[in-house]
Every structure is written in structure tokens, then in C-alpha cells.
Structure 1
Amino acid sequence: AVTYWDRLGWKDTFGSPAWTARQWDYARAAGRPQVATPQVIINGGPTIVGSNRAQLEAAIQRAGPARGGPAISVRNGALTLAAGKDVPSTIWLVRYDPRTVEVPIRAGENGGRTLPHRNIVRELVKLGNWSGAVTELPLPSAPRGLSSAVLVQQGTGGPITAARKL
């Protein structure tokens, strides 16, 4: 959830300037001149409108698995990234709400509608760095009601080379 649509007269209750900055970092790193929502990028490929299910599923099939990042495993409260190609990366822990939340939209192109929101990011925590060596980090417990995922991302805003839902 981002903040750049707030100017339309309705503030996204899940929006965060940090999420907006992160989306712009990712766009700049890929040489993209703009951002949009709901935007999906698979394995660094072209942007896809995330609400177009058929287009999204076709793009996932074409892309195949992520390449270049480490295998991610979880055991006994620890996160382990396997050895791999030396590409300095950041390890992110994403906490999200898996429930569907119905949100009344007050203004803008969806004004007057109530739209479902799911997998709402509530927290993004930098766990550490990965530079190709086996890396083990303690995995903090998820706050009640939130689910977690791990992302391995090259540099600031670079491609995500590995991900795992926990």
C-alpha cells in the first residue's frame, strides 16, 4: 500500500511512505520511469497489472522460478540461506495480514466502492545481508495474526532473487 494516490482525496489506511519509497527504489534500479498499483513484477520482467488474473498467471508461467538467489530454509527458529553466487543482497522479513479486509473507498476512481484487500504488508524488517556464503539468522516470531515471508534482494531496489513464504 502506497501513498502517492492520497492526493485523490482518500488516504489509503494501509499506505506508508516507506512502501512508496521502496517501490520507487525498485523502479529506478530497473530503469522504469514510473510506478503504479496494483503493479506486479516477476523475476525482474515487465510490469503487469496485478488485478488482471489471466495476465498475471500467464506471466508467472512464462517466468519460471527465480534465478541467482540462494535456497531458503527454516529450521528450529532459524532462517538459513544456502551458499551461492556472490551477489551482495539484503534479507528482508515481510509481515503481512493474510485476511481479506473490506475497505470502503471514499474518493478517486474507485470512490463509493468497497474493495477487498488481502496480504496487507504491516512490517518490513531487514534481517541481515547475504553475500554468497551460507548464512543463518534467528527468525523472530510473527506477531499474532500476521504471516511472514522472506525476500532476498540485490542492493537497494535491485531484483529479488529468492523468496519464501514461511
Structure 2
Amino acid sequence: MRSLPLILVLFISFNCFSKTIFESGTQKTQLLQLFTSEGCSSCPLADKWLSTQKSNPELFKSFIPMAFHVDYWDRLGWKDTYSQSKFTDRQRLLKSQGLIKSVYTPGIIFEDKEFRQWFKGNGTITTTNQAAKKLMATIENDVLIVNYDSDQTDLVVNIAYLKMNEVVDINRGENSGKQLKHDFVVLEMMQVRYKKNTPIILDFLTEGKNKDTALSIWITKDNRLENLQAVGGYL
């Protein structure tokens, strides 16, 4: 039997057993959530602004951006490539829990409240000194293990799988003829009850680990959307 070259064996071994660790400090990492749609003419500017956060030195340290593509624009000429009804449901739940006043696009949420200064031309992300428990996430192959420094029993782990550098040509709707570029696009999202050291299978990692994918992981209380602590980074 012919043996594999040593370099190929090392490459296979590295990819089979590679481990990624995200760990927070004792200050809160905030979520920056954009609710957007490819069918909304005012959304491309917000998408472009979110993409500029890739060069922010505080990215994945003090804040984690996510773009949720809603589906309520889909019936108006263009079906958003990334829209999901559960993202629309999330935005509506934010309203029902009093975190935002209305459901619209582009809708920007930072520190669990509406980020309205963006509409006034101020898109500066200000970091926080708010104290928070430590959170660590370990990803090995398709398995995630989360450890949160808390004894609370009513906690939920939220996981979002993000895609970078996406380009879509739009040929109908309000953005017809435009080429839209997206970053931090949420492809999949899941929620599981938090149990320390309990493996979580990430069966949606279809893109594998590469520089164009990232994970966002954050802790909430059961039936609430306020972020308690978050970690994330490129895969």
C-alpha cells in the first residue's frame, strides 16, 4: 500500500484536530445587530457601514456585529438571498420585550437598545466598561463546548454562524441593478439551554473553518433577549 506524503498527513491531522477558543474578559462584550434586507433601498448604506467594522480594532473584543436579513421585504419584488422568517421573529420579539420601539429596516441595535445616532451620521461604536461574567467557547471540529462563570440555571446559549465577503447582484426590487456586498451575515442561528461542559453539535458548519466565516456566541436568560456576555471570532 502506498503511503501518503508526510506534508499531506500533517495537513489532514491539523484539520481533523484543530481547536478554536474564544474567551471573554470580565467586561461585557456587546452585540451590534443590524436588521436589514436586500429589498430595502435604504439598507445598502447600513450594510456598508457594518462592513467597515472589519477594520475596527475592538472587533470581537468589545463588540460583535451580526446582520440579520428579515423576510418582510421579500414579497415586494426581490427575495433576499439570506432572509429567514426567524430573523423577522427575532426583531418582533425585541419590540415585544421593549428593547426597540418598532420593526423596520435598517434597524440597528447596540447594547440591547436602538442605535439611532447612526441615522444622524454618527456611527462610532463606543466600548463599555460594564462588568460581566467570563465566557469561554471551545470549538473542535463540529463540536462546541461553552463555559460561563455563573451558577444560574435559567440560561440559554445563542449561536450565530456568520459569513463574510458575500456579493449579490440584484435584478429586481428597490435595489435593482445594484451589486450589494455583505459582511457578518447570519446564515444560521440556534439556541440551546446552557449546561456547563455539555457538547453542542454545530451541524450547520457547511462552509468549514476559513477566514470568511465566524461564530458569535452569547448568553441570555430564558425567554429574554438581553445579552449577558458574548464571545466570537473568525473560524
Give the TM-score category using the shorter length: 0.7 to 0.9
Q: Distance in 2 between matches of 1:11 and 1:41?
A: 24
**Distance change in 2, residues 1:71/1:48 (3 Å):** farther
Q: 2:179 aligns with which of 104, 114, 125?
A: 114
Residues 150 and 165 in structure 1, CA contact (< 8 A), matched pair in contact too: yes
**Structure 1 counterpart of 2:136, one-letter code:** S
Counterpart of 2:108? 40
Q: CA deviation at 1:36?
A: 2.3
Measured after TM superposition, the shift of residue 157 of structure 1 is 4.7
Residue 156 (str. 1) matches residue 220 (str. 2): no
Aligned to 1:18: 86
Unaligned runs of 5+ in 2: 1-68
For this pair of structures, how many residues does the alignment match?
Answer: 155
CA deviations on 1:56-95 (whole Å, 9 max, x unpaired) are 32xx31x61565x5321134752211126x4833211111
Alignment of 1:142-153 (within 5 A): 142-143=205-206, 144-145=208-209, 146-153=213-220
Match of 1:64 among 104, 107, 128: 128
Task: State the alpha-carbon separation in 2 of the partners of residues 31 and 150 from structure 1.
Answer: 20
Larger strand fraction of residues? 1
- RMSD of the TM alignment (CA)? 2.9
Check 1:137–1:9 CA distance in 2 against 1; reply closer, same or farther (3 A cut): same
How much has 1:137 moved relative to structure 2?
A: 2.9
Normalised by the length of structure 2, the TM-score is 0.56
**Secondary structure of the structure 2 residue equivalent to 1:22:** helix
Question: 1:41–1:108: structure 2 CA closer, same or farther, 3 Å change rule?
Answer: same
Partner of 1:73: 136
Asked if the contact 1:25–1:157 (Cα under 8 Å) also holds between the matched residues in 2, the reply is: no
Please tell me whether the aligned partners of residues 4 and 20 of structure 1 are also in contact (alpha carbons under 8 angstroms): yes
Is the partner of 1:23 in helix, strand or coil?
helix
Contact 2:161 2:188 in 1 (8 A): yes
Structure 1: 5+ residue stretches without partners:
none
Give the number of the structure whose alpha-carbon radius of gyration is greater: 2
Identity of aligned residues (%): 20
After superposition, the Cα gap between the structure-2 partners of 1:154 and 1:2, relative to the gap in structure 1 and judged at 3 Å, is: same
